Amino acid sequence: MSGGGGFLGKLFGKSKEERLDEARDLFEKAANSYKLGDDFFNAGVCLDKCAEIEKMTDGQPSHYIQEALGCYKKSDPDKYASMIDSAV
């Protein structure tokens, strides 16, 4: 376990904001993978998570919300309509 404290040291040695940033990046990568596989509903779910994380870190969730809306528009018109209503 030399050079960085191992897996647990890397995991628990990070600040909450760093962990949230990593989680957002992973959700964004997952969303892109779902899009490539034409699974727009699950891409939208991942992008929703990105927006939630952005809100927790005082970031700008609007980009992720817009992308999620685009995915839901293609896959789930009811979810799209409810997101539009909540955004307004």
| b/e burial code for range 9-22 (CB count within 10 A of at least 16 → b) | eeeeeeeeeeebbe
pLDDT digits (tens, 9 = 90+) for 36-59: 999 999 999 999 999 999 999 988
Q: What is the pLDDT along the chain (88 residues), one digit of tens a residue?
A: 444 456 655 666 778 889 999 999 999 999 999 999 999 999 999 999 999 999 999 889 999 999 999 999 999 999 999 988 876 6
Say what the pLDDT of residue 2 is: 43
Among residues 46, 37, 88, which one has the least CA distance to residue 68? Answer: 46
Which pTM does this prediction carry? 0.81
- The domain locations on the chain are 15-87
